[in-house]
Structure 1
Amino acid sequence: MRSPKSSAVGRRLAVLLTGLSLAVALGVNSRAGAAENPYERGPAPTEASVTASRGTFAVSQVNVPSGSGTGFANGTIYYPASTTAGTFGAVAVIPGFLSPQSVIQWLGPRLASQGFVVFTLDSFNGTDLPEARGQQLLAALDYLTTQSSVRSRVDANRLAVMGHSMGGGGTLRATVSRPGLQAAIPLAPWEPDTTWEGDTVPTMIIGGEDDIIAPVASHAIPQYTSITAAPEKAYLELNGGDHFDPASESPTVGKYALSWLKRFVDDDTRYDQFLCPTPAPDTNISQYRGTCPNG
Structure 2
Amino acid sequence: MFDIYYSYGSYFTNINVREQAQTAVDIVNELWPQYEHIFVYDNATTHRKRPDDALSALKMPKAPSGSSARHPDANIVGKRKKRDVDGKLVYNSEGKVILEDVPMIGAKLPSGEPQDLYFPVGHAKAGKFKGMQIVLEERGIAAAKLPTQCPKFKCADTSDSAACCCRRILFNQPDFVNVKSMLKVECEARGIQVLFTPRFHCELNPIEMVSRRTLNGIEAIDGVPLLFMRRFVNRSHRFADGYFNKHLSGPEAAWAARKYHGHRTFPTEVLDLLLKAKL
Q: Which category describes the TM-score, using the shorter chain as reference length? A: under 0.3
TM-score (norm 1): 0.24
Question: Which has the greater radius of gyration?
Answer: 2
TM-score (norm 2): 0.24
Higher strand proportion: 1
Structure of greater relative contact order (alpha carbons < 8 Å, 6+ residues apart): 2
